[in-house]
């Protein structure tokens, strides 16, 4: 039977908009801020839960809030490994309304489309909303999927702290998520296959006028925190030769990080310093302490590690020269993920069946699929986003682009759940 799922695009867009309205951003939607374990995050979760229940899905929430909504009609073997899809609904400060949400609400709509078609899966199909794909609160991205895949142990989880010094365990319990952290890791055979629908967050698909990207692999991300300690003092009293200004040292470090990235042998290496805290932060006080973060990624993990090493050596040399100390911690340095041939083939077949052109590409952003790939054969479906913009309020994918992505997702889920 050839399947022609119809996507209820207006309804899906309405749901995306309703979710976008659940936000802590001072600006109105489409600007969105939704940080894990806040009241706003809980409201978004409640909204989604209602939609899952309306679709007849069975909801399970794990001890850290990862939410699994399962469709298991009589045709499906309830004990068989499921076909999984999903993404995240947390949003960094001042983000847009499509990052992650298209994969969660799109996953739900793909299941509803299959239900409307009368499709009979042989195994359960599950849509997942991961806790905290974004690193905003706890410094590390994908904490939910890392824990599911066993990459972050319960001992690692409880060591994570937020800016208020509250640890992950306390914060999740305060938000109402209880239970044993050891129960978060899923069994190796929980999923038969995994696929995530996401906006590209880059310009390639739009430039190629391609409706669908089939992801072949996900670039390797690493995050470091640097602490620079110099000597504070009076902005008028301390003459320049005597200064050990921590911010000037940080500025030099940031400039050389940019130079290292620009001269990298791999064109895919990108370096971003996105947070800078200056102490004491007064107009007439020499900065004595600075904290800054470094986000470093490459499709070539060896090159990323070599550049990280060179940056650290350069900082040490510069610290000695300026008389400041520079220390750093590695929050994460993950290997890249390769997508699975059978899932890639299923997505390709889905595109062909839907009569949509596709293009094979790498994901430069990381996603929960980076960690789901450790647990299950994994693939990702990308759709274009305007001007490649993401992590900004003007992030946008058109209704047609979203609808095409959900159609491909539905056909892919059907293919993967047919045997």
Least distance from C-beta 375 to ligand GLV, angstroms? 19
Q: Write each residue from 338 to 367 as x if it is in contact with ligand GLV (CB under 6 A), else as -, in one continuous string.
A: ---------------------------xx-
Q: Which is nearer to ligand GLV, 351 or 365 (CB)?
A: 365
* Long-range contacts at 104-107 (CB < 8 A, ≥ 24 apart): 104/48, 104/128, 104/129, 105/12, 105/15, 105/16, 105/19, 105/48, 105/51, 106/12, 106/197, 106/402, 106/405, 106/406, 106/409, 107/197, 107/409
Tell me: is residue 313 an annotated ligand-binding position.
Answer: no
DSSP 251-273: HHHHHHHHHHHHT-SSTT-EEE-
Is residue 100 involved in binding Mn ion (CB under 5 A)? yes
The answer to whether the annotation marks 99 as part of a ligand binding site is yes
Instruction: Give the E-state strand segments of 123-269 in sequence order.
Output: 125-130, 191-199, 212-218, 220-229, 233-234
Among 77-85, 98-106, 223-231, 285-293, which window interacts with Mn ion (CB under 5 A)?
A: 98-106
Single residue of 141, 319, 377, 405 touching ligand GLV by CB under 6 A: 141
Q: Which is nearer to Mn ion, 100 or 139 (CB)?
A: 100
H helices within 26-161, ranges in order? Answer: 39-54, 101-117, 143-149, 154-159
By C-alpha distance, which of 248, 269, 263, 272 is closest to 326?
248
For the bound state, the minimum distance from the C-beta of residue 95 to Mn ion, rounded and expressed in Å, comes to 7
261 binds, among Mn ion, ligand GLV, none (CB under 5 to 8 A by kind): none
| Binding partner of residue 15 among Mn ion, ligand GLV, none, CB cut-off 5 to 8 Å per kind | none
- Number of residues this chain uses to bind ligand GLV (CB under 6 A): 4
Is 198 annotated in a binding site? The answer is yes
Are the CB atoms for 312 and 328 separated by under 8 Å?
yes
295 is an interface residue for Mn ion by CB under 5 A: no
Query: Which residues belong to the annotated binding site for Zn(2+)?
Result: 88, 99, 134, 198, 391
Residues near ligand GLV (CB under 6 A) are 134, 141, 365-366
Residues near Mn ion (CB under 5 A) are 99-100, 365
């Amino acid at each position: 039977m050839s399947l022609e799922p119809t996507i209820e695009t207006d309804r899906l867009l309405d749901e995306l908009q309703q979710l976008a309205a659940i936000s802590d951003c001072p600006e109105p939607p489409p600007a969105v801020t939704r940080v894990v374990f806040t009241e706003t995050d809980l409201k978004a979760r409640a909204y989604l839960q209602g939609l899952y229940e309306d679709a007849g899905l069975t909801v399970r929430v794990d001890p850290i809030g990862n939410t699994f909504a399962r469709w298991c009609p009589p045709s499906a073997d309830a004990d068989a490994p499921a076909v999984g899809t999903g993404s995240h609904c947390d949003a960094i400060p001042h983000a847009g309304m499509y990052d992650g949400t298209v994969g969660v609400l799109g996953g739900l709509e793909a299941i509803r489309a299959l239900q409307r078609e009368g499709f009979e899966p042989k195994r359960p199909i599950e849509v997942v909303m991961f806790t905290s794909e974004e690193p905003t609160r706890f410094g590390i991205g994908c904490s939910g999927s890392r824990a599911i895949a066993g990459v972050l142990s319960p001992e690692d989880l409880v060591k994570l702290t937020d800016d208020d010094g509250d640890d992950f365990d306390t914060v999740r319990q305060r938000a109402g998520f209880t239970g044993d952290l050891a129960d978060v890791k899923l069994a190796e055979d929980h999923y038969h296959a995994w696929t995530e629908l996401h906006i590209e967050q880059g310009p390639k698909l739009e430039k190629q006028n391609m409706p669908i990207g089939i992801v072949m692999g996900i670039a390797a991300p690493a995050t470091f925190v640097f602490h620079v300690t110099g000597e504070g003092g009076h902005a008028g009293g301390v003459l320049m030769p005597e200064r050990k200004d921590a911010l000037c040292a940080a500025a030099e470090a940031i400039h050389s990080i940019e130079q290292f990235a620009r001269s990298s042998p791999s064109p895919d290496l990108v370096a971003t310093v996105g947070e800078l805290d200056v102490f004491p932060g007064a107009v007439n006080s020499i900065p004595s302490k600075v904290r800054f973060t470094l986000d470093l990624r490459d499709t070539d993990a060896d090159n990323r590690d070599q550049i990280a090493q060179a940056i650290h050596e350069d900082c040490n040399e510069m610290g000695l020269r300026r008389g400041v100390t520079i220390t750093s911690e590695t929050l994460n340095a993950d290997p890249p993920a390769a997508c699975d041939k059978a899932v890639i083939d299923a997505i390709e077949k889905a595109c062909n069946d839907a009569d949509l052109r596709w293009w094979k590409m790498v994901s430069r952003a990381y996603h929960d699929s980076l960690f789901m790939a450790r647990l299950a054969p994994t693939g990702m479906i990308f759709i274009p986003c305007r001007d490649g913009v993401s992590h900004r309020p003007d992030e946008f994918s058109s209704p047609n682009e979203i609808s095409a992505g959900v159609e491909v997702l539905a056909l892919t889920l059907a293919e993967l759940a047919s045997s």
